[in-house]
Amino acid sequence: MKTNPKTESQRLHALRSLNILDTLPEQEYDQITKLVASICDTPIAMISLIDKDRQWFKSKVGADYCETDRKYSFCNIAIQSDEEIMEIFDARDDLRFKENPMVYGDKKVIFYAGVPLKDKNGFALGTLCVVDHQPRTLSARQKEALMFLANQVTKLFELQSINDGLKETQKQLKEKNNQLKNFAGVVSHDMKMPLASMIVTIDVLKAKYKDILDNTGLEYLNNLKKSSFQLSDYISNILTHYESDSITNNEESLKEFDVHSLIEDIVEMLDIGDDCDLSFPEESIDVYTNRVALEQILLNLIGNSLKYNDKPRIEIDIDFKKETDAYRFFVKDNGIGIPKDKQKEIFNLFSTVADNDRKGNKGNGIGLSTVKKMIHNLGGKISVESTEGEGTTFEFTIERIHN
């Protein structure tokens, strides 16, 4: 039986694109061959794949060889057959196998039944087959079971192909993400210095030409300075977002410290004014975790409570609990609140809810996304409860490391 060269090359391409040839045994395939041997009551069952010059077995029961020459392969004939099952009662009486060493040698393939394993494009890549050393036939139920199990093998092929595709896509996405991180880092660092120079230059211009500039000119410079600070803040947030993985994975940042001292440091950094009442946790409990990451998380959440607040007096209540396997934090405020329909969006990158903060500046939608990412990397979760116009409570956990 001759094969069409064009179709055969496409079939071989389909087979090799599975990346399954010469792979190690896998339980999913071995379970099928064991089951089909039991159902068909044969000493041998195999999942064969027909390569260019050989027949290779992905799984086998009752055979001690991994591959055979294609020109002597029963399965090679089966994949070119139009039959759903190619069944040979006694190969010694079949002219196609008259001089086949598989029939007359030590292996003695007398009975054979094989179902072609066809991919979604109809290419027969191999067979699920059973072999016996004596003449026999399969019952209708055995044939049906053989076809059902052959279908399961093709589904395993498809799943393997999909998984390989997903792994390749994941690899490419990881590479692209690393490129984006590097790009963001380089661009952000390169922009920081010119921005700092712009801010300094604006102050110099205001001081040097204060007697020449009118109110409109001074307003232009103030707006330029404000925009420069906003852009600088935006760049800093992007850097923190893309560096969050390295921050949370840095084992050198694992330290034992008390919660009160951390919050005191954050209060000092934020330069909280007299219009804010900030309540500390009742107890100053020692924790062992990534101090830098936790500082970034609380810095962002407390900073948001300060910025997005329209009350004459800002109230921020910070609470903390040490649990068996986690540290649990609460940051509660009396701010503007978050609309119910927006609460699921606030952790998305570049998602903003409020038009402007307390000072009239618009947020960039990076901070909470970074917070969620860091908390996830630290083995925890974050949730939000908020009532518009009344306030917001963020609750988050991080995994407790026992040192």
Question: Does the pLDDT value for residue 105 go beyond 80?
Answer: no
State how far the Cα of 354 lies from the Cα of 363, in Å rounded to an integer. 8
The predicted model gives 288-300 an average pLDDT of 89
CATH of the domain at 334: 3.30.565.10
Comparing C-alpha atoms, which of 341, 372, 338, 332 is closest to residue 355?
A: 338
Q: Are residues 10 and 120 in the same domain?
A: yes
Contacts of 318 (CB under 8 A, 6+ apart): 263, 278, 279, 280, 281, 298, 302, 329, 330, 331, 332
Tokens 């001081």 -> residue: 207
Calculate mean pLDDT across residues 355-376. Answer: 75
Which CATH number belongs to the domain containing residue 47 in this structure? 3.30.450.40
Q: What is the pLDDT of residue 238?
A: 65
**Residue 217 resides in a domain:** no
- Domain check: are 16 and 115 in the same one? yes
Bridge partner list, 114: 86, 129
Of the candidates 112, 147, 168, which is a domain's last residue? 168
Query: Does any domain span residue 222?
Result: no
Q: What is the mean pLDDT of residues 334-352?
A: 83
Domain carrying residue 85: 5-168
Q: How far is CA 299 from CA 5, 115, 293, in A?
A: 68, 65, 10
- The single-letter code of the amino acid at 112 is Y
pLDDT at 342: 85
Please check whether residues 259 and 141 belong to one and the same domain: no
Do 27 and 130 belong together in one domain?
A: yes
Q: Tell me the pLDDT of the chain averaged across its residues.
A: 86
Residue pointed to by tokens 């975790």: 289
**Does residue 124 fall inside a structural domain?**
yes
Q: At what angle do helices 259-270 and 291-307 cross, to 10 degrees?
A: 50
Q: Is residue 246 part of a domain?
A: no
Report yes or no on 163 lying in a domain: yes
| DSSP string covering 60-89 | EES---SEEEGGG-HHHHHHT-SSSSEEES
Residues 269, 234: Cα–Cα separation, whole Å: 18
Q: Is the pLDDT of residue 42 over 90?
A: yes
pLDDT at 235: 67
pLDDT tens sequence across 297-324: 998 899 889 888 889 999 999 999 999 8
Same domain, 134 and 257: no
CA 350 to chain CA centroid, Å, is 20
pLDDT of residue 358: 65
**Domain match, 35 and 150 both:** yes
Domain annotation covers residue 232: no
Tokens of 5: 């060269």
* Domain end position, chosen among 168, 196, 219: 168
- 3-class DSSP state of 121: coil
Domain total of the chain: 2
Q: Are strands 111-118 and 86-88 parallel, antiparallel or unpaired?
A: antiparallel
Question: For the CA atoms of the chain, what is the radius of gyration?
Answer: 35
Q: Taking 90 as the threshold, does the pLDDT of residue 15 lie above it?
A: yes
DSSP symbols for 4-39 = -HHHHHHHHHHHHHTT-TTPPP-HHHHHHHHHHHHH
Separation CA 159–CA 115 (nearest Å): 20
* pLDDT of res. 61: 95
Residues 155 and 15 in one domain: yes
**Does 221 fall in a domain?**
no
H and E: helices and strands count for the chain: 9, 13
* pLDDT, position 213: 85
pLDDT value of position 149: 96
Query: CA 184, CA 298: separation in Å to the nearest integer?
Result: 24
Q: How far apart are CA 253 and CA 298, in angstroms?
A: 16
Q: Which regions of 291-337 does DSSP assign to beta strands (E)?
A: 314-322, 326-333
Query: End of a domain among 168, 199, 215?
Result: 168
402 in any annotated domain: yes
349 pLDDT higher than 80: no
Same domain? For 151 and 270 the reply is no
**Together in a domain, 268 and 158:** no
* Predicted TM-score (pTM) above 0.75: no
Q: What was the pLDDT predicted at 76?
A: 94
267 & 374 share domain: yes
Residue 360 pLDDT class (50, 70, 90 cuts): low
pLDDT band at 355 (very low <50, low <70, confident <90, very high): low
pLDDT tens for 195-253 read 778 888 888 888 888 888 888 888 888 888 777 776 766 666 666 666 677 777 777 77
The reported pLDDT for the residue numbered 193 is: 72
Residues 361-369 have a mean pLDDT of 71
Based on the fold, state whether residues 164 and 261 are members of the same structural domain. no
Q: At what angle do helices 291-307 and 215-248 cross, to 10 degrees?
A: 150
Percent of the chain with pLDDT over 70: 87
**Region of poorest pLDDT, from 38-42, 95-99, 258-262:** 95-99
**pLDDT tens profile 180-194:** 666 666 666 666 677
The DSSP output letter for 226 is: H
pLDDT in tens, 66-103: 999 999 999 999 999 888 999 999 999 998 888 888 89
Same domain? For 143 and 260 the reply is no
Spatial distance between the Cα atoms of 46 and 56, rounded to a whole number of angstroms: 10
